[in-house]
Every structure is written in structure tokens, then in C-alpha cells.
Amino acid sequence: MIPRPFEYHAPKTVPEAIALLQKYGDTAKLLAGGHSLLPMMKIRFAEPEHLVDLGKVAELRGIREQGKELRIGAMTTENDLIWSTLVQKKCPLLVEAARLIGDPQVRYKGTLGGDISHGDPGNDHPAIMLALGASFVLAGSNGERVVAADDFFVDTYVTALEPDEVLTEIRIPVLAKNTGWCYAKLKRKIGDFATAAAAVLLTMKGDTVKEVAIALTNAGATALKAREAEDSLRGKKFDDAAIAEAARLAMSICDPAEDQRGDVEYKTAMTGEMTRRALRTARERAK
Ligand SMILES: Cc1cc2nc3c(=O)[nH]c(=O)nc-3n(C[C@H](O)[C@H](O)[C@H](O)COP(=O)(O)OP(=O)(O)OC[C@H]3O[C@@H](n4cnc5c(N)ncnc54)[C@H](O)[C@@H]3O)c2cc1C
């Protein structure tokens, strides 16, 4: 339960952080809120020799609206999201998800950038980012690049981040008017990760589905976009049969890891149920 000794670095700017990552290579790790990294260091699953703390990098904080996007600094905490009137108004799905993460301690310290960079399919933000069509600004020694959420999550704990890159900003398209949203999450108790969860965005034209996004948490090696389920709904009447078919298609791509939260069959069935619930709630909100 005691991490190996490490050297602590506290850069004040992104270029300083990148320079430290370049200098120390594989032996360095970025530290954000620490609520995933420190538990891993305690069990020696991660053994960095250098910790590069982003806590003093002021440019990585803050939430603003630019054009049709919300631009959120990677070090923005879950509580910053929950308390932001801008996020409440422009992207309530993100607030709904953040409120369901961990416990008060985790929400005070855990950051949006850390939750995404960790690459854990059990984390909530990866699926939320897929549903929202977000993109990420990655800064490294070769400059900046913008990567779509669709291309970012590669495998469990593996993302598109290069070893010398810092996720600096999360860009989220502002929701179109009258878009319904829901994050339905099943967890065993307060503070637990999802047994299964589904994120849905939905816009309607009368009784017909105009646009829909569905993404799944803890249902595979990464967060999953349920594309066939989305296709099955677009342009169709939104009724019980359409919901059942979308849930069936969402379940068909599930390959969850078996753990203390349940076996594959149970988790897959619960993903279907979360998809049905999220679709129904999003429909109610899509006025
Ligand atoms: C009891 C408990 C319950 C939890 N429940 C949930 C839950 O229900 N849902 C959920 O989603 N999460 C949950 N978590 C995880 C929590 O949300 C973490 O805070 C989050 O996964 C990581 O964010 P962090 O800021 O703490 O990052 P850290 O732990 O500091 O870092 C995580 C990883 O990301 C890398 N990293 C961090 N920031 C950057 C960056 N800007 N650029 C590049 N790499 C970066 C680090 O090097 C590290 O590898 C829980 C954690 C605990 C302890």
C-alpha cells in the first residue's frame, strides 16, 4: 500500500510540463486529481519515478463558450462542471454524468482531463464524450493536434496520447435546441463505478427520431459508440418496438469484463436496460 519513491515536479505552464515529460520519458507520469493514479501507485500497478503535477498550471482550468463549442480546461474538476451555470445550460448531460461520479472527495479533486486520459472503460466521461461528439486538444513537443473522441480510446488504459503529450482542452459541441439527454447509470452503491451505463442524446421531428447518439460505459475494452442502435432509430417512429430494437443492438456489441459487479450476461442485460431507460428519459426531455 506504499508507492515506490518518486521525484515530484510542479510545472507552472504546459510547455514546462511537456519538457519534463520529454526529459524523463517512460519514467514520468502526469498527476491531475490523483484519484486513479495514486491508488494504482499504492498497489504498484504504476511505478513512476517522476510525478509531474498539473495542479499549478493555471491555463488548464476554466470553462468558456467559443462559437458553437464549450471549451473546458483538462484540470477542471467534476464539481467545477456540476456548479457551472454555463455547462448546466449548454450541456446538461455532462452535469448529469459528473454528479454520478464517485463520492464528494472524488468530485472535488478528480478532473475531466484525468477521467478521459486514464482510458478506463469503467469511467463515465469516455462514453459521455463519444455521445457528445467531443474532441480533445493534445499538446506535445511537436505542437498541438486535435483528436476526435471517436479516435481517442484505443484499448483498456490505452489512448491516442503520446508519452510526451498533455491533454489540455476538451471541446464539446453545444447541444442543439430541443435535444433530449440522459445518462442512465446502474451502480451497486454510492461511490461505485458503473455496473453498466448508457449515454443518450436525442432530437425529434414530431414523433420521428431526427438525430440520436448512444454510448456505453463498462461494456467492453473501451467506451463504445452503439452505431447500429443509432442507425436503427434515425428516421423511425419512436415507440416501444424501436426502443427494444435499439437496446438489442446495443447489447449485441457488449463484451464486458466479468468482475465483482457481475458476469458478462448480467452486465450485457443491464446495458440493454440502461439504454432503454436513457432513451425514454431523453425522449421526455426532447421537447
Ligand atoms: C472511490 C472512487 C470512486 C470512483 N468512481 C468513479 C466513477 O463512478 N466514475 C468515474 O468516471 N470515475 C470514478 N473514479 C475515478 C475518478 O473519477 C478519477 O478522478 C479519474 O479517473 C481520474 O482523474 P484524476 O484527475 O484523478 O486523474 P489522475 O488520477 O491524476 O490521472 C489519471 C491518469 O491520467 C493521466 N492524466 C491526467 N491528466 C492528464 C492530462 N491532462 N493529460 C494527459 N494525461 C493525463 C495521468 O498520468 C494518469 O495516468 C473513482 C475513483 C475513486 C477513488
Determine the pLDDT at residue 274. 98
Of 211, 212, 150, 177, nearest to 90 by C-alpha is: 177
Candidate of 117, 154, 162, 190 to mutate for ligand 1, largest count of ligand atoms within 8 Å of Cβ: 117
Task: Tell how far the Cα of 31 is from the centroid of ligand 1, in angstroms.
Answer: 9
Determine the pLDDT at residue 191. 87
Q: What percent of the chain has pLDDT over 90?
A: 96
Instruction: Give the pTM.
Output: 0.98
Confidence of residue 166 (pLDDT cuts 50, 70, 90): very high
Confidence of residue 74 (pLDDT cuts 50, 70, 90): very high
Task: Tell how far the Cα of 46 is from the centroid of ligand 1, in angstroms.
Answer: 13
Determine the pLDDT at residue 115. 98
Report the pocket of ligand 1 as residue ranges, CB < 6 Å: 29-37, 39, 54, 74, 101-102, 106, 110-111, 113-115, 117-118, 123-125, 161, 166-167, 191, 193
Determine the pLDDT at residue 142. 94
Task: Tell how far the Cα of 211 is from the centroid of ligand 1, in angstroms.
Answer: 31
According to CATH, the topology of domain 180-285 is Enolase-like; domain 1 (3.30.390)
Predicted confidence (pLDDT) at residue 69 exceeds the cutoff of 90: yes
Q: Where in the chain is the domain with CATH 3.30.465.10?
A: 63-173
Average pLDDT over residues 170-179: 93
Task: Tell how far the Cα of 270 is from the centroid of ligand 1, in angstroms.
Answer: 24
Q: If one looks up domain 63-173 in CATH, what number appears?
A: 3.30.465.10
Predicted confidence (pLDDT) at residue 180 exceeds the cutoff of 80: yes
Task: Tell how far the Cα of 134 is from the centroid of ligand 1, in angstroms.
Answer: 18
Q: Are 170 and 128 in contact (CB under 8 A)?
A: no
The protein residue with its alpha carbon nearest to ligand 1, atom 37, reads 114
Q: In this structure, which amino acid lies at residue 209?
A: V
Mean pLDDT of the chain: 97
Task: Tell how far the Cα of 35 is from the centroid of ligand 1, in angstroms.
Answer: 5
Nearest atom in ligand 1 to 100's CA:
8
Separation between Cα atoms, residue 194 and residue 188, nearest integer Å: 8
Predicted confidence (pLDDT) at residue 79 exceeds the cutoff of 80: yes
Predicted confidence (pLDDT) at residue 134 exceeds the cutoff of 80: yes
pLDDT tens digit sequence for 10-64: 999 999 999 999 999 999 999 999 999 999 999 999 999 999 999 999 999 999 9
- Write down the residue that cell numbers 486529481 correspond to: 33
Q: Where in the chain is the domain with CATH 3.30.390.50?
A: 180-285
Determine the pLDDT at residue 76. 98
Q: What percent of the chain has pLDDT over 70?
A: 100
